[in-house]
Amino acid sequence: VTRRGCPPLGGGAVTLTLPIVKTLPCLDWTDEGLVKRVRGVTFTCKVSPQNGSRMVDAARGVLNAFIPDVYIFTDHHVGAEAGKSPGYGLSLVAETTTGCVLGADAASTACSSAMEEAKGLDWATTAEERVPEDIGRRVAESLVAEIQRGGVVDSSHQSLALTLLAIGPEQVSRIRLGQLTPRAIETLRILKAFFGVVFHVAPEPESG
């Protein structure tokens, strides 16, 4: 992360480097394992760094009821590295014993100074002003919901996983997903229309 950016003006920058992959492997990914630790990072841009600590305390208040190994870093930015708008947010990931990573995140869509800059934008009329504790609890509860949903990827990455399976080798691949999101269902329809790939969807015998 080169620069952080918050709504409404953004200004963040991320450098992503990926290796070249000539072919995708056949995949049999059905063991989600058990959650062994939770890691995360809070970021604060052009606001008090105490907001980050408040998000950490709220998130740990939810997560420590389930697992003791929770560590959340704080990342404070000022000046040019803080983007163009003030704000704060939290990102959490749960790592399992089989290497699966489930994530959840949220940012302050409307801290008071950002709302002042956002006057006139469409989203500003419905955005709620959230204090750091709200963000911390919301993200932690979202992560718990993702774990409860099950699957080897979280709900936001179901579509990506299905797309990679569709463009992979002709051998049969298997993947275990939680309850399909509307976006994932639409992805299945698009893959059938464009690639002629049809997935066989079956309930998991242990959880249904």
Reported as a single tens digit per residue, the pLDDT across 81-127 is 888 888 899 999 999 999 999 999 988 864 444 445 445 544 444 44
Assign domain 28-149 to its CATH architecture: 2-Layer Sandwich (3.30)
CB pairs under 8 A, 24+ apart, for 191-195? 191/162, 191/163, 191/166, 195/166, 195/167
Question: 40 forms bridges with which residues in the sheet?
Answer: 72, 92
Per-residue CA distances from 196 to 46, 186, 193 (Å)? 49, 14, 6
Q: How far apart are CA 68 and CA 7, in angstroms?
A: 33
Q: What is the pLDDT of residue 129?
A: 54
Reported as a single tens digit per residue, the pLDDT across 16-30 is 999 998 888 888 999
Radius of gyration of the chain (CA): 19
List all residues 6 or more positions away from 92 whose beta carbon is below 8 Å from its beta carbon.
38, 39, 40, 59, 63, 72, 103, 104, 105, 139, 140, 143
Q: What is the pLDDT of residue 109?
A: 67
Q: How far apart are CA 90 and CA 105, in angstroms?
A: 6
Indicate the domain borders of the chain: 28-149, 155-195
For the chain, first and last CA: distance in Å? 39
The DSSP H or E segment spanning 86 is none
List all residues 6 or more positions away from 159 whose beta carbon is below 8 Å from its beta carbon.
181, 183, 184, 187
- Residue 37, Ramachandran bin (φ over 0: left; ψ between -120 and 50: alpha; else beta): beta
> pTM of the prediction?
0.85
